[in-house]
Amino acid sequence: NTLPLRGRTAVVTGASSGIGAATARLLAGRGARVALLARREEQLAALAGQIAADGGRAVVAVADLTDPDSVAGAAERIAADLGRVDLVVNNAGVMLPSPVTEGQEDEWSRMIDLNLAGALRVVRAFVPDLIAAAEGGDQADLVNISSDAAHRGFPNFAVYCATKAAVTHLSHTLRTELGPRQVRVTNIEPGLVKTELTEHITHPESYELLTGLTRSMPVLAPEDIAEAVAFTTCQPSHVNYSQIVVGPTTQV
Ligand code: NDP
């Protein structure tokens, strides 16, 4: 079956660039209807246009995941446009490393509010749909994009690593709540992927460190992570890859 996701309805957060954009494209290519959620409308509209040109279906859902009302509004619009969602990719995130002694509370808050609280807002908005889909006998998936930073420590990355450790533990704990209700929960932990994530870093040494690492080895492409999302969501419903770690071969 070349369109194993035909009939499924997905929401991908952070779909305006990087891993989210690649994932939305691949899920649409496998037959899913996809809601593209992020703040930058122009990028989302361009991606929706590409998906449509390739024969897929995508709708734009502009929202700011740090604003509960914005998330609720997007969920309502997605329900009106596409109906019940049965596949959620909780992917939006931000990485702002700096020495903990500099106490960049604004950046700490941005990471916690998007990477952890934003993911929770998405869970609140769409998990009822996933449960309803599963109760109706349909496949239902929650895929959280965490990071290998959930397990590793890097100097200056304390808060980012902490948010990703929280996402990983959130996935594993939610699985105990949702798995018995036939909703699959998958936690994906990528290593280095070439995206815009590094471009928001304000701390020069951290920026140099990461761009240097990215230049020093063949890092992953966003499409590599999209493949992992498609792989797990295309499994038969009794099979749950709950934890997928995927990194560049040479990143050890
Ligand atoms: P990008 O910066 O390319 O993508 C981040 C996405 O998040 C963008 O689409 C951005 O869209 C969206 N976003 C940011 N702020 C908000 C907000 N307030 N509300 C809604 N959407 C928002 O980076 P990646 O693709 O690399 O990151 C995706 C995920 O992968 C992140 O969770 C990241 O932590 C994780 N990851 C990345 C790795 C890497 O090496 N690149 C490694 C491990 C994990 P917009 O600005 O339009 O809102």
**CA-proximal residue: ligand 1, atom 10 (nearest):** 14
50: domain CATH number? 3.40.50.720
**CA-proximal residue: ligand 1, atom 6 (nearest):** 14
219-240 residue pLDDT tens: 999 999 999 999 999 999 999 9
Q: Residues 36, 58: contact at Cβ < 8 Å?
A: yes
Catalytic residue among 74, 160, 178, 225: 160
> ipTM value of the model?
0.99
What's the chain's length in residues? 252
Cα 176 to the center of its chain, rounded Å: 20
Domain contains 1 = no
pLDDT, residue 2, reads 80
Domain contains 2 = no
Q: How far is CA 183 from CA 10, 32, 244, 248, in A?
A: 14, 17, 17, 30
pLDDT, residue 1, reads 61
**Residue 75 φ then ψ, to 5°:** -60, -40
Q: Is 160 a catalytic residue?
A: yes
Question: In the chain, which stretches have pLDDT less than 50?
Answer: none
pLDDT, residue 89, reads 99
Domain that holds residue 58: 9-246
Q: At what angle do helices 119-135 and 158-178 cross, to 10 degrees?
A: 20
Domain contains 3 = no
Residue 223: is it exposed, middle or buried by C-beta count within 10 angstroms (0-12/13-18/19+)? middle
Residue ranges lining ligand 1, Cβ < 6 Å: 13-20, 38-40, 64-66, 91-95, 114, 145, 147, 190, 192-193, 195-197, 222
pLDDT, residue 116, reads 98
Domain contains 77 = yes
Quote the CA–CA distance of 170 and 174 in Å, as a whole number: 6
Domain contains 64 = yes
